[in-house]
Amino acid sequence: MPEREQIIKTVTAHLSGILPGMSVENPDIDKDLRDFAEYDSLSILEVLVWLESEFSLSIPDEELIVDNFSSVGKMVDYVIAHR
């Protein structure tokens, strides 16, 4: 499985535990996660901490912008660019 597809599966599986209604089988990777009421400031922080841990990243403060992490696709692009 290509790296991008594996990261999409990993991120989607994690988010589906936080966001009811997130499709694991057929994820819309461009859907704005802020459309989910559960994707609030606390869950965003938890997702960022998880991303750092899961993918051995360190997200600098200046990149902690919600728009950088507002969809599965953006998270995957960020992980690939910063690994």
User: Could you tell me the pTM of the whole model?
Assistant: 0.93
* CATH code: domain of residue 29: 1.10.1200.10
pLDDT digits (tens, 9 = 90+) for 21-46: 898 999 999 999 999 999 999 999 99
Question: According to the model, what pLDDT value does residue 48 have?
Answer: 96
Query: For the residues 40-63, what does the mean pLDDT come to?
Result: 96
Question: According to the model, what pLDDT value does residue 19 have?
Answer: 94
- The answer to whether 64 and 46 are in contact (CB under 8 A) is no
Nearest Cα residue to 26 out of 39, 8, 53: 8
Q: What is the DSSP letter of 14?
A: H
Give CA–CA dist 58/52, Å, rounded.
6
Range of the domain at 39: 3-82
Share of the chain above pLDDT 70, in %: 99
Give the count of domains, the chain. Answer: 1
Give CA–CA dist 2/60, Å, rounded.
27
Give CA–CA dist 28/46, Å, rounded.
21
